[in-house]
Amino acid sequence: MTGVELLEGIGALPFALAIRRSAIIYIFVNAAHILSIGIIVGAILPLDLRLLGLFRKVPIEVVGPFLSHAAAVGVTLAIVTGFCLFSVNPLEYAGNAAFLIKMTLLALGVANAALLHLAPQWRAAVKGGPISLRICLSALLSISVWTGAVIAGRWIGFLLE
């Protein structure tokens, strides 16, 4: 199966056809996608800022696990709703530079978070230990990547023909 055949198959999925045929379904899926992005940014940005030294009175051992889980839920919902939106016109999205940048940044953001959570420095920090340089660098990368992903996501519509 070629890449084009795969994309055409995605566009022919029953839910893709339903979304394409119904403005109401599209609006709700799009709104759910935007809300999931809000969950991601609303969880990740405060956590990253705390890891960088702001809000020092807020204990990382309390907010770290909670905000990490909230962000993971947001990412999961964004991927599901984003795939539904992608399925409406997969051939066009697959050739859209902003979409490809957003997907790259999404993968980088998820990889950064996964690597951070596997690091012993993270486990120490959420047990009340010090915030290492590794954690600070990860937080800076996270802020940059997720902000870039949001910007790229908004840019997609401007590049669609």
What are the 10-residue block averages of pLDDT along the chain, 161 residues in total?
90 94 95 97 97 93 95 97 96 94 97 96 94 96 97 87 58
CA distance 149 to 78: 12
- Overall pTM surpassing 0.85 (yes/no): yes
Identify the domain containing residue 114 by its residue range: 3-159
The backbone torsions φ and ψ at residue 22, rounded to the nearest 5 degrees and listed phi first, read -125, 115
Q: Long-range contacts: 20-23, Cβ < 8 Å, 24+? A: 20/88, 20/89
pLDDT at residue 62, as a whole number: 93
CA distance 107 to 112: 8
CA distance 140 to 115: 14
pLDDT at residue 157, as a whole number: 81
Domains held by the chain: number: 1
**Which residues, including other chains, have CB under 8 Å from residue 56's CB and lie 6 or more apart?**
none
